[in-house]
Structures are given as structure tokens and as C-alpha cells.
A and B are shown apart, each in its own frame.
Chain A
Amino acid sequence: MSEHAVEQAANHGPTAGEYIVHHLTHWNTTGHAQAKIVDFSVFNVDTLIFSVSMGALALFMLWRAASKATSGVPGRFQAAVEIVLEMVADQAKGIIHSAESRKFIAPLALTVFVWIFFMNALDLLPVDLLPLIWQTASGDHHAYLRIVPTADLNGTLGMSIGVLLVCLYYNVKIKGFGGWVHELFSAPFGSHPVLAPLNFMMQLIEFAAKTISHGMRLFGNMYAGELVFMLIALMGAAWAGSFTGAALWVGHVIAGSMWAIFHILIITLQAFIFMMLALVYTGQAHEGH
């Protein structure tokens, strides 16, 4: 459907629907919008580029602070990084009681927090800025580009499945494989042969629900935020010298500013929530039912 709409948009100025559909289509390895809901032969190139570059940028920033870290009086940059790190370390200490596990999980939580914050922050760039630059640079005026990796379900589910794998690893590590399997069949309703299938079903549902809701929550927030930015951009695009157009343009400025300011909260909050849930889920993997 979207492919069709965009081809139409090539012939004349895009309608509002075409504009939004175009903006919501990924630059992937097929060159057009993905036809099937699930197709593991396709990569979203834009998500990968921005996800990896934001990760690299975030880690480079942290690494610079780490390589210059002194026990003396810290500079502002070092102090800022230390504040974030201590916040994460405190949360990890409160949730995960094994110091050995914290050696991996706490840095993982810090990475997730800073990385997601950076990826979410891409949402604050004007929605048309990077796509326009890319369209001009590539010479294809209908090239697709979505710059927010966390507004791509693949990006967020990729991370939440990563958290799931960490949970499974610690389940086995802390309880032993036998102990974990026993837990799978004996919790939450109790250890009884009749209840075993029910228990196992509940456990599967629990893991699936945790992982999917973990990824979906971030995706939904960022996707909706991106969509609102696009709708606001449509108001500005209506500028055509008429009075209504001028009023819409003013509306764009006001609504855009308000939504961007509010979005600063969402960006930080969603990064924090993702980090906290990662800690809580790995913490649960340490506790027997």
C-alpha cells in the first residue's frame, strides 16, 4: 500500500497521508517498503546506521570520561558521567544483590540507558532534516530514511531480546540448569505433576510478555512521538500565503516547541524505564520463586 502511495507522490506534491507514509518507510536492503510483516531476509539500513553510530558516539563519550577519570577533583564532564554512572550503580545495587553479576549487568544497564537516550534524542532533530540531506546527497528524491532506531520495532525488540538472553543466562547460572527447569515446571502454582504443564505455560507467557512489552513500550513511545512531530510538520507545510496557512505555520512553531520540550522528558524517561526494567528482569532471574 505504502509503495503505491509513494509512487503516486512522485508525480505530484505529496498529500498528507503520502508524506507520513513516506516518512514511516525504512531505508532497507530491498529498496522499497517491506511487503511482508515478517521477513528475515531484509535489513533496515537506516536503523542499523543510526543505532550503531549513536552507540559508538555514546560509548566514545563514556570512554573519554573513563580514560581521563581521576580520583582528584573531577571536571564538569567527568562529574556528569559520574553522576549517571552512580545513578545506574545505585539502582543496580538495590535490585541485584550479587556483586559478581553486577560486574556485567550494571555496565549493561549504563550502556542501555545512554545508548537509548542518544537514539531517542535523534527524534528532536527536525523530521525532514536528515531525510532531505540524504535525498539530496543520494540524488534520489524519494529515498527513504527513518533516523530514530528506537522507533523501529526491530531495534527495540532486538534490545529486549538481548535482555531476555541475559535473564536466561543468569537463570541457569544462579539456579543451575536443573534448578531452573524445576522452577519452570513448579512455579508459580506449586510443585505438583498435575500443575506442571500449567506452570510451564505461565512461565512461557511471563517471559514472552516481559520481553515483548519491554521492547514494545519503548517502540510505541518513540513511534508515537515521531508521528506527532510529522503531524506538526504538516501544519508548517501548509504555509502558502493564505491566512489559514500563516496561522498553521504559527501553530507549527508553538506546537513543535511544546512537543519537543515535552519530548525531552519522554526521551529520558523511556531510556530510564528500559534500563530499570532490564535491571528488574535480570534481578528476577536471580531470585527463586
Chain B
Amino acid sequence: MNLNATLFAQLAVFFILAWFTMSFVWPPIVKALDERAKKIADGLAAADKAKMDLANAEKKAVDEMRKARESAAELRAGAERQAAQLIDEARSEAARLIAQAREAAEGEAGVAMQRAKEALREQVAALAVSGAERILRREINAQVHAELLANLNQELK
């Protein structure tokens, strides 16, 4: 263990090596490490954002589904209500038509009956008059007793 000038040579080598590391080794590796750290941080942030987006999208989808179901139910209720109304209207229309038809038929029947009654009455009157004529052919002058006959005819009505 002797001391000699190797010491100063080693001292110089020491600083040359340190300078080399400082200039060419340390900065690129530290830069790469920092960049990688940033990349990882960015990646994690992006993953978090994607997770949040997914949650939002799921919530939105559920909302849309609920809305669609609600509007479908509303539409169905409306359609049912309308259908019921249409049926009611049709029913009342039908009832009205039936009543009308019945009224018309009843009126017609009444008129026909009236007419038949009158016809029958006239025939009865004519038969009575002709019967009486046959009986009273001679004694009764049609012209003289016209007023009497007319009265009789009137009473038969």
C-alpha cells in the first residue's frame, strides 16, 4: 500500500466518468422513465374516464328503456280508451237506428190499419146501405132520403 501518482490519474478518471454519465447516460434514461410515468398516468386517467362514460351510457340506456316503456303503455291506454269510445258510439248509433226503424214500422203499420179500417167501414156502410136498399127498395127514395143515408153513413164511421 504505497501512494503514488496513480492517485491523481484515478482522480481524473473519476471526474471524466462522472461527466460522461451526467452527459450521456443519466438524461436519456430519466427522460424515458418520466415519459413512461406520464404514459401510465394518462392511461389510468383514460381508463377511469372510459369507466365513467360506460356508467353514464348504461344509465342513459336504462332511462331510455323506461321512457319507451312508459310511452308504449300510454299509447296502449289511449288506444284502448279510443276503442272503447268507438264501441260505445257504435252501440248507441245502432240503438238509435233500431228505435228509428221500429218507430217507422209502427207508423206505417198504424196508417195501414187506419186505411184498412176505413176501407172496411166504407164496405160495411155500403153493405148496410145496399142491404137496406134491397129491403126497402120501394119505399125509400134514394134522393129523398139522401140526408138520412148520409147521417147513417156518418154514424157508422
| Residues of chain A at the chain B interface (Cβ within 8 Å) | 26, 28, 34, 36-44, 47-48, 51-52, 55, 58-59, 62-63, 65-67, 69-72, 74, 81-82, 85-86, 89, 103-104, 106-108, 110-112, 115, 149, 152-155, 157-159, 161-162, 165, 219, 223
| Stretch of B4-12, B88-96, B147-155 at the chain-chain interface | B4-12
Q: Which of B14-22, B102-110, B128-136 contacts A (4 or more CB under 8 A)?
A: B14-22
* Least Cβ–Cβ distance between B125 and chain A, in angstroms: 130
Contact stretch, chosen from B32-40, B75-83, B115-123, B137-145:
B32-40
* Distance of A83 from chain B, by nearest CB (Å): 11
Complex: A217 Cα to B60 Cα, angstroms? 70
Give the chain A neighbours of B6 by CB distance below 8 A.
Answer: 42-44, 47-48, 152, 154-155, 158
Q: List 13 A-B contacts (CB under 8 A).
A: A36-B2, A40-B8, A42-B6, A43-B6, A55-B13, A55-B17, A65-B25, A66-B25, A67-B28, A69-B31, A104-B22, A108-B21, A157-B7
Return chain B residues, CB-CB under 8 Å to A66: 24-29
Residues of B within 8 A of A69 (CB): 28-29, 31-32
B9 and A43 contact, CB distance less than 8 A = yes
Known: A59-B21, A69-B31. A44 touches B4 (CB 8 A): yes
CB atoms of A107 and B21 under 8 A apart: yes
Known contacts A48-B6, A158-B11; A103 and B22 CB within 8 A of each other: yes
> Of all chain B residues, which has the CB nearest A156?
B10
CA distance A162 to B2 in the complex (A): 19
Flag if B4 contacts A65 (CB, 8 Å): no
Other 14 A-B pairs with CB < 8 A, given A65-B25, A71-B36: A37-B3, A42-B6, A43-B6, A43-B9, A59-B20, A62-B21, A66-B28, A67-B24, A72-B36, A74-B32, A82-B33, A104-B18, A104-B22, A154-B7
**Size of the chain B interface, CB-CB below 8 angstroms:** 34
Give chain B residues whose Cβ lies under 8 Å from the Cβ of A159: 10-11, 14
Nearest B residue (CB) for A115: B17
Closest to A36 in B: B2
Please pick, from B4, B24, B27, B33, the residue contacting A43 in the complex, using a CB distance under 8 A. Answer: B4
Write out the residue numbers on chain A whose beta carbons fall within 8 Å of the beta carbon of B2.
26, 34, 36-39, 42, 153
Closest to A42 in B: B4
